[in-house]
Each structure stands twice: as structure tokens, then as C-alpha cells.
Chains A and B, each alone.
Chain A
Amino acid sequence: MTKHVIAPVGELPPGSRKFVTIDDRPIAIFNIKGEYFGLLNRCPHQGAALCEGPLIGLAQSSDPGEIEYTKLGEIIRCPWHGWEFDIRTGQSYCDPRRFRVKAYPVSVEPGTSVVKGPYIAETVKVAVESDYVVVDL
């Protein structure tokens, strides 16, 4: 596992996402209400750039006529076939038994520790006084 610096926290406000390519792997980093999550930007169904889809909520029904809409902004919907995945876990809501999108742990690290390493951050200028979003893969 190698830690890669994605961006200063100020560049990734809640509700936003950032696309990066690390070791030829397309990755998307999401900020959901102050928490950060990383997903492989490739739909396990047919390979579309999953994370470019809209952020939605989860519509579920326990009984006919009862609809719960939860996880608003925490579900990503694929731009092709509309497959829905939980950004927190990578779980598919369309076919949870067969499919899961790869999820990567993301953390916030202070500039003082990022400067020390071992982090890889060729294109992000690191300053000790900032905090950074870091993905582990």
C-alpha cells in the first residue's frame, strides 16, 4: 500500500469529487459531508467511468406504498446503465452478490506529516500549514 496525496482539503469541499489516475488506475475521490472516500472509476458491470455519474440517494421500499429515501448524496449512479453503488463501501444495489466496485481508504493528513513521507505527491505542492487528502492504494 502506498499513500498518494490527492489535494489540499480546501480543494475538495463537501459534495465534490476529484478524478486522478494512479499507476494507470482511474480513481475518484469523493467528499461526502466532510468524509472522504475513494472508488475505482470503472463500473464492474461493463466498464463505464462510473464515478462521472450523478450523486443520488437510495430509494427503498419495505412494503408497497412505503418508500424510504436515504443516503442522499452517498450513492453514485453509473452514466451508462444506471447501476447504483454505495460510495462508502462500493456495494452494488443492483446485483450485490456478483458486483462490488473497488473502494480505497482515504484519510486527511497534516502537511507536517505529508512533508516527512513516505507519500507520493509529484503534482501536489505540499505545505506544512495545510491538511491534505490522501488515498491509500
Chain B
Amino acid sequence: MNIQFRERPELAAKVQAKVAIADCDIHPARATKQELYPFLAKRWHQHLETYQEHPYQGMMEGPPYPKAQPNASRRDAYPPEGGMQGSSLSFMQKQHLDPNHVVLGVLNPLKTGQGLRNQDLAAAICSAINDWQIEKWTSKDARLKGSIVVANEDGVTAAQEVRKRAGDPNFVQVLLLSRNVEPLGQRRYWPIYQAAEEAGLPVGVHAFGFGGNPITASGWPSYYIEEMVGHSQCQQTALASLVLEGVFERHPKLKMVMIEAGFGWAPSLAWRLDRNWERLKSEVPHVKRRPSEYIRDHIWWTTQPMEDPERRDHLFDVIDWIGWDKLLFATDYPHWDFDDPSRVLPAGVSDANREAFYLGNAKKLYGIA
């Protein structure tokens, strides 16, 4: 038979990645708000229903910028049983993990207690999200690993959550977001880095979050596209702060991952930091090495959304600076700006670098055998 009618549109057949991959940025969602209740004390059920959540960003119910697709997600990623994109393990397996040969998937929950003003509620929701990751995802599919989400603005409480989860093989990193009340190198966040270093866990910094500040360094822009490109700006602020506050000097074993904010800007930021450090280092004597050295030694980068210059050698120049051993492939599933593993890396990459890019670096960083 050469004509087949389908009741429901299915995925297009396509060229699949032939190799096993790690996906270092997967966003699991809840099908309903109540899905978190089994992991929250009764006291918080009533609190949420009476007072709701109160974020740092005033007057904000959802993300302040409209998204290009519903829930910022692929339109073909709604689970057949209902619920928003990313809320069904079985559909994630069928649509993404199985066909794309994902052998390690790092979960980065975004809608958590991070960014709430009520710090007790923030901590309770974050801890519940961590339990929920085990119950709904990592205990059901051994390929998936969780990220410890923490009440980021309360460093001491956040560090307690990290210590509580330390050594638990369900988790492979601590997760922060790029927009916070203050730049990420500042002291209120230090206990988090201390606890992560002790636990031997990398700290991921994912784009987004809302800390009560405008989303750019010079106010609120008009368009969603400005938010999308502005992530690299926020991430640069965070990274410069981490270096210049001496976080890596204090925590020589700390590893950090820049997630979903690009990497093409890394050399430029490092060059600018180095040049200014040469002249201004008396202001920051605790920064003992060239800023670029901290960046090269301590920072890993997820790839999505992959930079796509007209000339591929420009991309390779940037990667040569960063190091092929520092890139972590990511799709951002189920979000709309998903990168397909079979399409993302141009030709002309050695087999060893390709393997490191898609899988080896992630396994090594996250300690997966």
C-alpha cells in the first residue's frame, strides 16, 4: 500500500542521530498544579490556594514576555493524554529519548520555587520539586538525572537542600537561573557554591529567572526577540560576577555550566576581562589569575541554541578557544527552539570531538559511567 491515512498526525520520519547522546537541558513539566501536592506539607496546599505565589517580579503571573509558541514549547510536543508539553514521561520517551538515542538526560525544572519572595514557600516548593523529579522521572527512567533546585535568594537554606541531596545518584547538578536579585558572584549565594563543591556537584546556571530587575542592563525592551538575545547579556553579568567576586578562587574544585545562553560571546568577554584585570587588579586583589583562566578551567557550556554563523570556521574558532572538552550537547526539549541532534553540528568535526560534544564531556562532568 502506498497511501496511508492517519487518524492523528504523527512525527515526520527524519534522519535520526546515529550515535548515543547526552541531552543536558530537558525541561520536565507538571501536568497539573496539584501534582506537586504529595511532596508539599498540607500547610502549603492551603497557603497556595489562599495566597498563591508571590514572585520577585511585581505584578507577574507568568513570564513577562510572550513566547513564540504555546508554553514556549514545540506544538507537536503535547502529550496525547493531555497536559502541557514535557509533562508526560511516556511521551517524552517516545518522541525524544528513544528516537534521538538519549542515554543521559539532565532535567532542568524551570517553574519551581526559585524567584519567590516568601522564602519558606520557595524552599518548600524547591524541595518538593526535587522529590517530584525522583518520583515522576528519574526513578522511572534510568537515563534521566535530576538537578537540585534551591531557594536561590536564601543561600543558607539553599545550601541545606544541596547537602540533603548530596550523594543521591538521582541528581547530577545544582540548578540556578541567570536572573537573580543580585549578580551571581555576590556573597548571598556563596553558601550554595560551598555546598556544591563539597558535594562534588557542578552548578548549572540556566537562562531566565526573574529577580525583580529589568531583564536587560538598560531597562525593559519591547520585544520577545530582545529577551531571547538578551540571555547572553545576563549570563555575561553572572559570569563576570562569579570571576570577579573570587568565587573560583575560594572554590577551586567548583564546576559551573552555562545553560542555554550561547557560547559565542565567551572569548570576547574573557578578552575584555583580561585586559581590564591587567589594569584594575589592585581593585580586586582576590582575583589572582587572569579571568580567562578561571573561565576555561571552571566553565562548561551547553550548546542549544547552537550558534549558527554564516561561515562554519567562525564557529570552530570559538570552540577552539573554549575547548572541545567543555561543550555539552543539549536540545532544550520540549521548548520551541529545540536543537535536533542530527542537524546541529556541521561537517568537518573529528570523530573524537564529535563524541565528546554529544556524550563524552557530559558523562565525565556529571560522573556517569
Q: What residues make up the interface of A, taking CB atoms closer than 8 Å to B?
A: 4-6, 18-24, 26, 41-42, 45-50, 52-54, 79-82, 120-124
Contacts and interface: CB of A to CB of B under 8 A. Distances in A.
A42 B3 contact: no
B340 A47 contact: yes
A47 B12 CA distance: 8
A26 B10 CA distance: 10
Contact of A20 (B5, B11, B68, B338): B5
A65 to B, nearest CB: 14
Given A49-B11, A81-B338, 5 more contacts: A20-B3, A22-B3, A26-B13, A47-B343, A82-B69
Contact of B9 (A19, A22, A82): A19
Contact of A123 (B5, B12, B74, B343): B5
A50 B342 CA distance: 17
Contacts of A49: 9-12, 76
Interface residues of B, number: 25
A124 B2 CA distance: 11
A122 B2 CA distance: 8
Interface string B13-54: 111000000000000000000000000000000000000000
Nearest to B10: A49
A20 B12 contact: no
Interface in B314-359: 336-340, 342-343
B336 A81 contact: yes
B336 A47 contact: no
A52 B8 CA distance: 10
A5 B69 CA distance: 34
Tell me the interface secondary structure of chain B in the complex: loop
Given A49-B76, A53-B75, A124 B3 contact: yes
A21 B4 contact: yes
Interface string B84-117: 0000000000000000000000000000000000
B6 A21 contact: yes
19 contacts: A4-B3, A6-B3, A19-B9, A20-B4, A21-B6, A22-B2, A22-B3, A26-B12, A42-B13, A47-B12, A49-B9, A49-B76, A50-B12, A79-B69, A79-B75, A80-B338, A82-B69, A82-B336, A123-B1
Contacts of B76: 48-49, 52, 79-80
Contacts of B343: 45-47
Contact of B3 (A26, A47, A50, A123): A123
A47 B11 CA distance: 10
Given A46-B343, A81-B336, A82-B69, A121 B13 contact: no
Interface of B: 1-6, 9-15, 68-69, 74-76, 336-340, 342-343
Contacts of B9: 19, 49, 52
Given A21-B6, A80-B336, A81-B336, A42 B14 contact: yes
A129 to B, nearest CB: 21
A80 B15 CA distance: 16
B69 A47 contact: no
A21 B12 CA distance: 10
Contacts of B4: 20-21, 123
Most buried by B among A6, A21, A41, A50: A21
A19 B9 CA distance: 7
B3 A121 contact: yes
A126 B336 CA distance: 41
A21 B9 CA distance: 11
A42 B343 CA distance: 13
Q: Which 7 A-B pairs have the closest CB atoms?
A: A79-B75, A47-B14, A49-B12, A46-B340, A42-B12, A79-B76, A21-B4
A12 B338 CA distance: 32
Nearest to B305: A81
B74 A23 contact: no
Contacts of A19: 6, 9
Contacts of B69: 79-80, 82
A24 B10 CA distance: 13
B72 to A, nearest CB: 11
Given A46-B339, A80-B76, A80-B338, A122 B15 contact: no
A124 B74 CA distance: 32
A27 to B, nearest CB: 10
A121 to B, nearest CB: 7
